[in-house]
């Protein structure tokens, strides 16, 4: 019986650790090609980046980039089939 209580407490503790790490997850970076924000930071749709590359450059390695419907093309030079972000 004592072993079951210890195991239950261990699983409860691990569940708390998991939920707290999920709560600390970063907010996504937002991109909208129609954005006219004077100082975009990607934190809200009102301050979304208009350029996808800017959003990628500002995102951390574990952060998601959410993209609004639109047309996004790499900038710089003449776009070709080999152009990438």
- With tokens 């776009």, the residue in question is 79
6 in a structural domain = no
Alpha-carbon distance of 69 to 16, in angstroms, equals: 37
Q: What is the pTM of this model?
A: 0.64
DSSP string, 8-77: HHHHHHHHHHHHHHHHTPPPPEEE-TT---SS--SSSSTT-BSSHHHHHHHS-TT--EEE-SS-----SS
**Number of structural domains the chain divides into:** 1
Two structure tokens written together for 9: 């407490």
Mode of pairing for the β-strands spanning 29-31 and 65-67: parallel
Range of the domain at 45: 26-67
Residue 35 within any structural domain of the chain: yes
Residue 72: what pLDDT?
84
Residue 11 belongs to a domain: no
pLDDT tens for the chain, 85 residues long, are: 555 555 656 566 666 555 444 446 789 999 999 999 999 999 999 999 999 999 999 999 999 999 999 888 777 667 777 777 7
């Amino acid at each position: 019986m004592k072993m079951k209580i210890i195991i239950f407490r261990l699983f409860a503790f691990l569940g708390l650790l998991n939920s707290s790490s999920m709560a600390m997850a970063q907010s996504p970076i937002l991109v909208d090609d129609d954005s006219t924000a004077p100082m975009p930071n990607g934190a809200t749709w009102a301050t979304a980046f208009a350029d996808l590359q800017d959003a990628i450059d500002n995102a951390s390695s574990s952060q998601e980039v959410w993209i609004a419907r639109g047309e996004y093309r790499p900038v710089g030079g003449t776009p070709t089939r080999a152009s990438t972000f």
